Amino acid sequence: MQKVYANADEALDGLLKDGMLIAAGGFGLCGIPELLIDAIVKSGVRNLTVASNNCGVDGFGLGKLLDTKQISKMMSSYVGENTEFMRQYLSGELELEFNPQGTLAERMRAGGAGIPGFYTKTGVGTQIAEGKEVKSFDGEDYILERGIFADLSIVKAWKADDTGNLVFRKTARNFNPPAAMCGRVCVAEVEEIVPRGSLDPDLIHLPGIYVHRIVQGQHEKRIEQRTTRKKETA
C-alpha cells in the first residue's frame, strides 16, 4: 500500500464529509497536526465533532476550525486557552462533552483496541457521572465510559518510515498514539520520512498497521504560554 502523499490536501482527499467525528492528537500546541487542520479548513466541511485534549488557541491549530464555525461539538478535557471557544460555548453555538484527561485518552485507546466501553472511578459522584451507568466492584462505584470510534484520526509525529511506523517526540507522545488508534482511517503528518528499516523497532511508538496515509511538511514551533523575565543588569 502506498501511504506517502505529496501534501495534506491529497492525504485527506476522499476522507472528509459533513458531520463526521475526527480524533485529533496533540497536547496544548505540542504535536498538533497543523497542516491537516489547515487542509480541513480549506475543505469547508461542517458540523464536525472533534475529540481532542484541547482546541488549540485563538487563530491556531483547531482554533482555526472554531473561527470558521466548522466544529459543532468538542470532546475535550482542557479548554482554557481559547477565548473563541469560551464565547461559542457560552452562547450555545458549540456543544461540549467534557472529559477528565485520563478518561479521554483511555476512551481513544479503548476504541483503538475495539473495546466499546469500560468502567472507571474517575468522576464518580460529580457532574461527569450524570446520565452514565454506575456499577459496583468490590464495594466501590465505577461509571461506564464509552470507547471513541472516530471516522478519521489526524496526528502529528516526529519521524515515520514509508510503511507508517511512527516515532513521537517527548510530550507529543501522550495523546497522539491513542488518537491515531481510534480512527477508521488515520492520516499522520511528520517532520521527517526516513528509509524503511532505519527505525529501531524498539523505539517505534505506533506500528504502521494503524496508519493509512502520511504527509511530510514544515511545521511552526509555537509556545502556548511564553514566560520571560527581565535581563538582570550588574
pLDDT of residue 220: 75
pLDDT at 139 over 90: yes
The answer to whether the predicted template modeling score (pTM) of the entire model surpasses 0.85 is: yes
Write the CATH number for 47.
3.40.1080.10
- In which band, very low, low, confident or very high, does the pLDDT at 167 lie, cut at 50, 70 and 90? very high
pLDDT at 222 over 80: no
In a domain, 71, yes or no: yes
pLDDT digits (tens, 9 = 90+) for 30-56: 999 999 999 999 999 999 999 999 998
In a domain, 135, yes or no: no
Between residues 178 and 217, the one the model is more confident about: 178
- In which band, very low, low, confident or very high, does the pLDDT at 230 lie, cut at 50, 70 and 90? confident
In a domain, 61, yes or no: yes
pLDDT digits (tens, 9 = 90+) for 189-209: 999 999 999 999 999 999 999
- 167-174: Cβ within 8 A, 24+ apart: 167/199, 167/203, 167/204, 167/205, 168/31, 168/205, 168/206, 169/31, 170/30, 171/27, 171/28, 171/30, 171/31, 172/25, 172/26, 172/27, 172/30, 172/31, 173/31, 173/205, 174/27, 174/53, 174/105
Phi-psi region of 87 (alpha: psi -120 to 50; beta: other; left: phi over 0): alpha
pLDDT digits (tens, 9 = 90+) for 59-86: 899 999 999 999 999 999 988 778 999 9
In a domain, 43, yes or no: yes
In a domain, 199, yes or no: yes
In a domain, 137, yes or no: no
pLDDT at 221 over 90: no
User: How far apart (Å, rounded) are the C-alpha atoms in residues 151 and 186?
Assistant: 9
In a domain, 224, yes or no: no
Range of the domain at 53: 4-114+147-216
In a domain, 23, yes or no: yes
- In which band, very low, low, confident or very high, does the pLDDT at 234 lie, cut at 50, 70 and 90? low
Joined together, the cell numbers standing for residue 67 give 473561527
Helices (H), the chain: 8-11, 34-43, 63-67, 83-90, 101-112, 176-181
State how many domains the chain has: 1
pLDDT digits (tens, 9 = 90+) for 14-32: 999 999 999 999 998 899 9
Average pLDDT estimate for 105-116 = 98
Say if CB 199 and CB 163 are below 8 A apart. no
